[in-house]
Amino acid sequence: KKLGLNELRKMYKDFFETKGHYIAKSHSLVPSNDKSLLLINSGMAPLKNYFSGVEKPPKNRMCTVQKCIRTGDIENVGVTARHATFFEMMGNFSFGDYFKHDAIHWSWEFITEWLQIPEEKLWVTVYESDDEAFEIWEKEIGFPKEKIVRLGKDDNFWEIGLGPCGPCSEIYFDKGEKYGCGCEDCKPGCDCDRYLEFWNLVFTQFDRQEDGTYQDLEHKNIDTGMGLERIGCVMQDVDTIFEVDTIQQILNKVTEIAGKKYGEDPSNDKSIRIITDHIRSVSFMVGDGILPSNEGRGYVLRRLLRRAARHGKLLGIDRPFLQELMEEVAKTSGEAYPELVEKKSYIKKVIGIEEEKFAETLGQGLEILKGYTEEVIKNNGNEITGEMAFKLYDTYGFPIDLTLEILEDEGLTLDQEGFEKEMQAQKDRARAARGNREGDAWKEDPLTSLEDASSQFKGYYELSRESKIK
Ligand code: ATP
Ligand code: MG
Ligand code: MG
Ligand code: MG
């Protein structure tokens, strides 16, 4: 029998309880007393005051399974096998208590004894100069040294600005040659879907100084993160995180509503995966008290919800459907997150109102676009200006891919350069408004991708082209 996500989540907590950890509940997705972060994006994020010593933890070793949102991964969702905007991160933490030796030994015990993952399928990485971690893997664990990959700072050193930082060791599952990119010497660190990173062990042992040097921390910490959906993938032997048990149920509902089969058309499949992911993010965000709006978290929520609705349109769904889909999220995650069940009618209402608003926006946008195209045709032109498209997009929330699609039907084009220029200007304005918060040691990727105008444009543009192919 294959282990389900609900069982894996429990096993992880049970295991670390046997190692003396205090098991804490997931914190809200909304950070408390932390202006540097828009949304919780890792297990350690809500615990950072314990790491920095500002607050005293209930115990100096803890374990959580934390709800996370990573908007920075949005372009990857539906494209790679392993990225979601919403996922659960299982983590064990030491605040000046145990260090590398225990962290590595216990991770090994959990995955090879409790989960019984065959050793020959595993690979590990260490930071290039972290001989200590290398030796623990090689000499104490007996892991073959050809499969311990030393990686550089980009991959295996956790550091943001000044303050606590340190090397990582990551654990990978080899899905097999057929998932590889075919490069010579394909191994972890290669950016293909063959090696699935599922657990990251961070050894916070240094304190980065103003002058760029690293000093040893007096209290060394452990911060680990294992993606529940990813280990689910490994244990259930499925290709992507969208096919693990509970997520597959949501995906099935999407295909049922759309009247489409999964696995028949790459462009439809991508839309199906995006909706499946985004409805999870949206449900959990509303459940944690976030409301759609035009700024901050509310903006992230709005964009995710509308993106899901938009992909619904691409699949040919011509009625509101996100409320119905939310039911499925409550069904599959309600056991671990009872708030989804308790607040279900509220969450559905918020989703329903926003989906309706978006439908109105679409109607309004179509009218305005019609005005633009008529004007262009009347003047014997064949291109609408970047300004027009930007206004539609920015003021009326009209998706750019839809604009492109309609223009194409009319035999018209868009001044893309002009549009990108407008987007860039907006991005600069947003950045200026956000202020310079660089240098905060814990800041991560809020909105980078959602606000990244050019990549967003590219994303929508590619999407519209794909949707034409079917
Ligand atoms: P990747 O290199 O695959 O993007 P990462 O190195 O950015 O992952 P970490 O920051 O190390 O990820 O997070 C710890 C763990 O959380 C990862 O090993 C993975 O299991 C999980 N994880 C990270 N990002 C995602 C995501 N977008 N969706 C699902 N799981 C994720
Ligand atoms: Mg990543
Ligand atoms: Mg990584
Ligand atoms: Mg990692």
Judged by phi (left if over 0) then psi (alpha if -120 to 50, else beta), residue 237 lies in left
Q: Which residue blocks in 19-115 are alpha helix, DSSP H?
A: 48-52, 100-109
Mean pLDDT of 55-69: 97
Instruction: Report residue 249 as tokens.
Output: 């149920």
For ligand 2, the distance from its centroid to the CA atom of residue 73, given in whole angstroms, is 7
**Closest atom, ligand 1, to C-alpha of 199:** 18
For ligand 3, the distance from its centroid to the CA atom of residue 198, given in whole angstroms, is 9
**Closest atom, ligand 1, to C-alpha of 231:** 20
Q: Which residues are in the CB-under-5-Å shell of ion ligand 4?
A: 200
Compute the distance between CA of residue 179 and CA of residue 253 in angstroms, rounded to an integer: 27
Ligand 1 contacts CB of residue 73 (under 6 A): yes
Using alpha carbons, select from 245, 337, 335 the residue that is nearest to residue 284. 337
More confident residue, 329 or 430: 329
Q: Whose CA is nearest to atom 26 of ligand 1?
A: 83
For residue 370, pLDDT over 80 is answered with yes
* pLDDT, tens only, 121-139: 999 999 999 999 999 999 9
| Residue labelled with tokens 């893997």 | 137
* pLDDT, tens only, 29-54: 999 988 878 999 999 999 988 988 88
For ligand 2, the distance from its centroid to the CA atom of residue 240, given in whole angstroms, is 16
Instruction: Domain 5-236: state its class.
Output: alpha beta
Mean pLDDT of 191-218: 91
Mean pLDDT of 274-279: 98
**Closest atom, ligand 1, to C-alpha of 86:** 28
For residue 148, pLDDT over 50 is answered with yes
Confidence tier at 445 by pLDDT (50, 70, 90): very low
Using alpha carbons, select from 426, 419, 422 the residue that is nearest to residue 404. 419
Compute the distance between CA of residue 340 and CA of residue 338 in angstroms, rounded to an integer: 5
- Looking at residue 462, what is its pLDDT? 41
Mutational test site, ligand 1, from 82, 93, 284, max ligand atoms within 8 Å of CB: 82
| Residue labelled with tokens 């303050």 | 163
Instruction: Report residue 272 as tokens.
Output: 């199906």
Mean pLDDT of 233-261: 97
Name the pairing type of β-strands 61-69 and 22-23.
Answer: parallel
* Residues of the chain above pLDDT 90, percent: 71
For residue 447, pLDDT over 90 is answered with no
For residue 444, pLDDT over 50 is answered with no
Q: Is the dihedral of CA 335, 337, 338, 340 positive or negative?
A: negative
Question: What ipTM was reported for this prediction?
Answer: 0.99
Confidence tier at 256 by pLDDT (50, 70, 90): very high
Compute the distance between CA of residue 91 and CA of residue 95 in angstroms, rounded to an integer: 13
What DSSP line would sit under 2-23, residue for residue? PPPHHHHHHHHHHHHHHTTPEE
More confident residue, 459 or 404: 404
For residue 470, pLDDT over 60 is answered with no
Confidence tier at 421 by pLDDT (50, 70, 90): very high
Q: Whose CA is nearest to atom 2 of ligand 1?
A: 197
- Looking at residue 435, what is its pLDDT? 59
For ligand 4, the distance from its centroid to the CA atom of residue 171, given in whole angstroms, is 9
- For 52, 108, 289, the CA distances from 111, given in Å and listed in that order, are 30, 5, 35
For residue 230, pLDDT over 50 is answered with yes
Can you give the pTM of this predicted structure?
0.86
Compute the distance between CA of residue 408 and CA of residue 33 in angstroms, rounded to an integer: 48
Of the ranges 12-16, 79-83, 156-160, 460-464, which one carries the lowest mean pLDDT score?
460-464
Across all residues in the chain, what is the average pLDDT?
Answer: 89
Domain boundary assignment for the chain: 5-236, 244-436+445-469
* pLDDT, tens only, 22-35: 999 999 999 998 88
- Looking at residue 465, what is its pLDDT? 38
For ligand 1, the distance from its centroid to the CA atom of residue 292, given in whole angstroms, is 26
For residue 84, pLDDT over 50 is answered with yes
Mean pLDDT of 82-98: 97
Compute the distance between CA of residue 385 and CA of residue 310 in angstroms, rounded to an integer: 23
Compute the distance between CA of residue 276 and CA of residue 254 in angstroms, rounded to an integer: 7
| Residue labelled with tokens 């691409």 | 314
- Looking at residue 37, what is its pLDDT? 87
For residue 175, pLDDT over 60 is answered with yes
Ligand 1 contacts CB of residue 67 (under 6 A): no
Of the ranges 212-216, 262-266, 289-293, 334-338, which one carries the lowest mean pLDDT score?
212-216
More confident residue, 393 or 23: 23
Q: Whose CA is nearest to atom 11 of ligand 1?
A: 200
- Looking at residue 193, what is its pLDDT? 83
Minimum-distance ligand to the CA of 230? 1
Ligand 1 contacts CB of residue 321 (under 6 A): no
- Looking at residue 455, what is its pLDDT? 38
Largest CA distance in the chain: 78
Of the ranges 203-212, 279-288, 359-368, 394-403, which one carries the lowest mean pLDDT score?
394-403
Using alpha carbons, select from 194, 188, 284, 278 the residue that is nearest to residue 242. 278
Q: Which residue blocks in 63-130 are alpha helix, DSSP H?
A: 100-109
